[in-house]
Every structure is written in structure tokens, then in C-alpha cells.
Structure 1
Amino acid sequence: MNRDRRLPAYRRELGFDPVDWLLTRPGPQRWLDIGCGSAHALFEAAPALSGKARIVGLDLVGYFGGSPGDDVELVTGSVLTWQPDEPVDLITSVHALHYVGDKLAALARMSSWLTADGRLAANFDASALRAADGSPLGRRLTSALRHNGFEYNPRTHRIARTGNALPHWDFRYAGADAHVGPNYTGQDAVASHYRL
């Protein structure tokens, strides 16, 4: 896991520039980055977004590479327990969902935090979501994602959605396996198991 990633990595991994996206929108914006690591990318983005966006970085490990200021708030916590105090215009997550146990709960929570026209963009590996017996969820999962308003590209491993919603899943979380080995990034990841 690259905890020191910089802003160009966000553009490359998510397929768009979060700063440019926020600057095209009217009024003050709020950007939440899940799994921000050291938050170097957020500190790099802050000058361009000063007075135009409030940036919040959430990370499970509070080893940040700077101090919070007027435009950057840093929070130590889990996407599965913490929640913002107001709707968010942009939620990004670069490779952080690979390490979450209940990935569908994380997607549901993040979707519920969006504004009516807000955007969620994250890296996502559908092959890491499996049935309780370890078999792949395959088309059942990708169909459920589409049904709940998500766009998923298996080639780029990107997931996105626009607009506030609380997705409904027919899968029940059955636990996680942190010993499955590397995923497509080459880093060890966590598999999420669900009962159908």
C-alpha cells in the first residue's frame, strides 16, 4: 500500500482530476478522501481549492504527513464506523477498499454520504468479493452493482456512482480473509465473503 501517494496518482488511478472536477462546480464543495494515507495529495490540492472546497482525509492509521489547517481536516477512523457531519460532493478512495472487510457496506455508506449530484470514485476489485464457500460472485455482483447505480469497469478496476443513495444488497456479509495474497496491484489484499 502506497501511503505517500501524490496528487498525480489520483488522476492516474481514478481517471480524472479531483481538483479540476471540484473547481468546475459552483459554491463551496466538500471532498472526502477515504484511505488518504499520509494525505500528501490533499495537502498538494489545498492551495488550488482554498476557499472553494473543504477537504477531509480519513485513514485508519493516523500517520499523516502534515498538520490539518483551514482547508484540510484529517480524521483517524474506519469507513465502516465514522461518518461525515454533512453531505459530501466528492468521495475518492485510491486502493483503500482492497483492505476493507465488508466492501459492500463501505460502498453503501459512502453512497449515502453524497449530495444529490455528488460523485464517488474508487478503485475496486470485484474478484475480491466471494461467496461464503470462496467461489467468485461474478455476474451476480456486477449485476447488483449496476442495479444500485454503480458503474464498474473490470479492466481499470474503477467503480463510480453519481448521487446520494442507500444501496440494497442481496448479499449478507460472512467475514473476511486477510490471507488471500496479492491482488492486481501486487499488494496483499483482503477478500470479502458473502452469503447469497
Structure 2
Amino acid sequence: MKLLTEAELIWSPIVANNKMNRKRVAIGVNSYEKELFFNPSKYLDDCLAQRGEVKWLDLCCGEGNALIQYAKGLAQQSGVQLKGIDLVDLFQEIPPFIGCLEFEVRSLVNWVPSEKYDLITCVHGIHYIGDKLKVLVRAIATLQPWGLFVANLDLNNIQGVDVKKLFALYGIEYNKRRKLLTCTGPRHIDITWTYVGADDQTGPNYTGQEAVTSFYR
């Protein structure tokens, strides 16, 4: 088996998959609400009502439709900060009346967060990342004390680390049936493993789409 480096992986046609999260909106039929089993718009509205401000970071945001839908539904945008990151620049155009949203094109494995967020989501994006644990560790550490991180995750796509034991040690919830990772409040996780590469030829995971398996030692 040939393991790919991060530099090689970003050119993989598996990673450039455009079927998973390009069109999803925040709530509705084809939405984050369906995939994550909670209503992100209501959660954000509650944060905004309680604190007067809210920050949502959407990792692997695709076209950014979920962020745009939420921004369009806001009565006022003051105190709201929305950001989407994706490896490919396929973002929808931000309407001119939306001033609280920005998109960034970048690889998440090199992402260094500079803000704390009330909500961080990653809908079916972790499946295509090489160093999955690095991204998860950084995202979870980036939460506000009350913040929520929610992501789809297939544990079969992480090899060499007892991920269940790791999550249990740090109080991170994983729903095996829904393949859903959730964490409320930040965790500062000690890294005791080494990432050695990724395989983009492992075939479909539970989604039915081909995914990337990450290897550690």
C-alpha cells in the first residue's frame, strides 16, 4: 500500500469529490439539519439572543450554501461572524447585503485558527482529510467554553489510534449509529501519535462515497 503525503493527497480525485457537501443548506430537505441531527440556525439564534454575538465556522463548507442561507434569514447582522473554509473555490457569490460572511480557500491540515467559535461544523468533510486527528484536535480546541463542534466521522477511516479510547478520555461524544462526533466546550488534547500518511484507494465508507483512510503510529 502506498500512503500519500498531504501534498499528494490534495490532488487526489477522491479528495476533490463534489458530491458530498456542495449543495447542502442549513435547514430543510438537503441540509445540515438532516445530516447533523440538530438545527444549526436555531442554535446560532439562541447564542445570539443570549450573548449579543455569535461566530460560526463551517469546515469543508462546499459552496457555502448553509452559511448563506443562515445569513439571509437574519433580521440584523451586527454581532454575527460567519466563515467557511474549503479546499476548492466553488463558493456561491455572497449577496451584497450580507456583510457578516467570508470564505477562505485552504487545506485544513495547515489551518491555524485565530478565533474562538460558538459553533464549528464539518459535514462529511473529515472523510477526505489526510491528518484527520490534527484537524479534529485543532477544531475542538477552538471552541468557546459553551461552543459546539459537530462532524460526521467514520472511525474505520482512522487506523493506528484507539479513537474510541481517545474520545472517552477527553469526554468527546461519538454516536456509532449516526457516525457523528460532538463536543461541547474546548478540549486540549495531548498528541501522542504520529501521522504517517493516507490511502485514497480504500473505497466507499458508510456514505457510499469513496473516502480517505488515515494512518498513525
Q: Same fold (TM over 0.5)?
A: yes
- Give 3-state SS (helix, strand or coil) of 1:174's partner: strand
Aligned residues with identical type, % of pairs: 38
In structure 2, how many angstroms separate the alpha carbons of the residues matched to 1:101 and 1:149?
24
Partner of 2:114: 85
Q: 1:94 aligned to 2:116?
A: no
Change (3 A) 1:145 1:169: farther
Q: Which among 124, 131, 136 is matched to residue 107 of structure 1?
A: 136
Indicate the residue corresponding to 2:72 in structure 1: 47
Please say if 1:10 is aligned against 2:10. Answer: no
- Is 1:42–1:72's contact at 8 Å kept on the other side of the alignment? yes
Whether the 8 Å contact between 1:98 and 1:124 is mirrored in structure 2 is yes
- Number of paired residues? 188
SS at match of 1:152: strand
**3-state SS, counterpart of residue 118 of structure 2:** strand
Return the alpha-carbon distance in structure 2 between the equivalents of residues 114 and 78 of structure 1: 20
Letter paired with 1:180: T
- TM-score w.r.t. structure 1 length? 0.90
Q: Which residue of 1 aligns with 2:196?
A: 174
Write 1 or 2 for the structure with the bigger share of strand. 1
Instruction: Indicate if the aligned counterparts of 1:39 and 1:66 stay in contact, CA closer than 8 A.
Output: no
Give the SS at the match of 1:13.
helix
- 1:98 Cα shift? 0.3
Structure 1 alignment gaps of length 5 or more: 132-136
Paired residues for 1:178-193 under 5 Å:
178-193=200-215
Cα deviation 1:133-174 (Å, max 9, x = unaligned)? xxxx5xx32011121221001110100111122212433212
Residue 117 of structure 1 corresponds to which residue in structure 2? 146
SS of the aligned residue for 2:136 comes to: helix
- 1:16 and 1:72, CA in 2 relative to 1: closer, same or farther beyond 3 A? same
Q: What root-mean-square deviation, in Å, do the aligned CA atoms of Structure 1 and Structure 2 show? A: 1.5
Does 1 or 2 have the higher relative contact order (CA < 8 Å, sep 6+)?
2
What is the TM-score normalised by the length of structure 2? Answer: 0.82
